[in-house]
């Protein structure tokens, strides 16, 4: 299996890819305000690459439950200087975490190679055509509702089956827009319109999504369901995040989105060594 994102190609099976998070926001749930200035965000991105991140995911709008939406102009003002600076300094793909087609287009022009679309439940295909035209990678993430409404009362008859149907339908529509299968990565969207039980069901069911034939990405880092389960506040959720990361790798997930690159790499490397077939 291959994942193509402009000039980058990843061939699987291979060790899991760590996607390091760079939030250029004042209000992200775990690191809001820490990297709001472009120079701090760039320094953080460089540090994550040095630590072993294989992809950087740069976002200028928090999507935590109840987050206040950001204007296109403000989102561009936050992310573009960071992408421009990082594109000239790192040789890993840069991913733009956005719901807005205009931000995706500008980010791709500035040097990004992947569009991380948490709103893949879109009716309009403008963003997909931009991805197709650029030959960019595309993260197709499942979300029920919007960040403003998603945690109000998420309801599914069968969350695993519904997310799978969503992926199948989106893959068909993406292909119709000119986005090839090997440009697409799938993400169940932990915490996006899901209760604790929905998140657990999706994590337990991860292996089932392998049959769709696309790499799987997972974002569990420091998320609130870990806090709900373990009674840990946001600064103390690394152990739960690492447990989920190792579990995900066992289930066949190939990309892990995380704030904690060093720790995630170490946990996953150890886990892979222990679960490798004996030589
Ligand atoms: N989670 C967040 C943001 N983007 N993208 C993908 N593909 N998968 C995820 O699980 C995911 C995502 C939320 O995390 P974070 O960026 O740390 O927080 P915030 O949205 O508050 O900036």
Q: Where are the beta strands (DSSP E) in 25-127?
A: 55-59, 94-97, 114-117
Question: For residues 214 and 186, is the Cβ–Cβ distance under 8 A?
Answer: yes
C-alpha of 223 from chain center? 13
Q: Alpha-carbon distance 34 to 193, whole Å?
A: 26
Residue 238: what pLDDT?
98
**Residue owning tokens 């439950």:** 65
Binned at pLDDT 50, 70 and 90, residue 47 comes out as: very high
Mean pLDDT, residues 256-271: 98
Q: Alpha-carbon distance 80 to 60, whole Å?
A: 9
- Closest ligand 1 atom to residue 27 Cα is 21
Provide the 10 A C-beta neighbour count for residue 277. 4
Q: Alpha-carbon distance 176 to 129, whole Å?
A: 10
From 272, 277, 274, select the one nearest 253 (Cα to Cα).
272
The alpha carbon of 27 and the centre of ligand 1 are apart by a number of angstroms equal to 12
Tokens of 171: 């893959």
With a Cβ cut-off of 6 Å, ligand 1 is lined by: 21, 23, 25, 28-30, 59, 62-64, 97, 116, 118, 139, 141, 187, 189-190, 217, 219, 257
Residue 152: what pLDDT?
85
pLDDT tens digits, one per residue of 192-240? 999 999 999 999 999 999 999 999 999 999 999 999 999 999 999 999 9
C-alpha of 6 from chain center? 18
Ligand 1 pocket: which of 36, 44, 64, 225 to mutate (most atoms within 8 A of CB): 64
Burial of 252: CB neighbours in 10 Å, binned 0-12, 13-18, 19+: middle
Query: Which residues are annotated as catalytic?
Result: 223, 257
Question: Taking the complete model, does pTM exceed 0.95, yes or no?
Answer: yes
Q: Alpha-carbon distance 83 to 79, whole Å?
A: 6
Residue 193: what pLDDT?
95
pLDDT tens digits, one per residue of 62-93? 998 889 999 999 999 999 999 999 999 999 99
Provide the 10 A C-beta neighbour count for residue 112. 33
Q: Is the pLDDT of residue 122 over 90?
A: no
Q: Alpha-carbon distance 125 to 173, whole Å?
A: 9
């Amino acid at each position: 299996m291959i994942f193509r994102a402009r000039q980058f190609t990843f061939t699987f099976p291979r060790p899991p890819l760590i996607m390091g998070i760079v939030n250029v926001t004042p209000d992200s749930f775990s690191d809001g305000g820490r990297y709001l200035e472009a120079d701090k965000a760039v320094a953080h991105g460089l540090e994550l690459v040095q630590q072993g991140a294989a992809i950087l995911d740069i976002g200028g709008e928090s999507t935590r439950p109840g987050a206040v939406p950001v204007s296109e102009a403000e989102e561009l003002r936050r992310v573009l200087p960071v992408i421009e600076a990082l594109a000239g300094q790192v040789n890993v793909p840069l991913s733009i975490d956005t719901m807005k087609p205009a931000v995706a287009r500008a980010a791709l022009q500035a040097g990004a190679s992947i569009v991380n679309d948490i709103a893949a439940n879109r009716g309009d295909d403008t963003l997909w055509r931009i991805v197709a035209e650029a030959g960019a990678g595309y993260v197709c993430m499942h979300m029920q509702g919007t960040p403003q409404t998603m945690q109000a009362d998420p309801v599914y008859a069968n969350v695993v089956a519904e997310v799978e149907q969503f992926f199948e339908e989106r893959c068909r529509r993406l292909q119709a827009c000119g986005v090839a299968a090997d440009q697409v990565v799938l993400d169940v969207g932990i915490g996006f319109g899901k209760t604790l039980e929905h998140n657990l069901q999706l994590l337990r069911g991860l292996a089932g999504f392998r049959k769709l034939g696309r790499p799987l990405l997972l974002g569990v880092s420091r998320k609130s369901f870990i806090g709900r389960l373990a009674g840990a506040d946001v600064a103390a959720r690394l152990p739960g995040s690492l447990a989920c990361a190792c579990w995900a790798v066992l289930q066949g997930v190939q990309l892990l989105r995380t704030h904690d690159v060093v720790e995630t790499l170490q946990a996953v490397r150890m886990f892979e060594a222990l679960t490798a077939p004996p030589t």
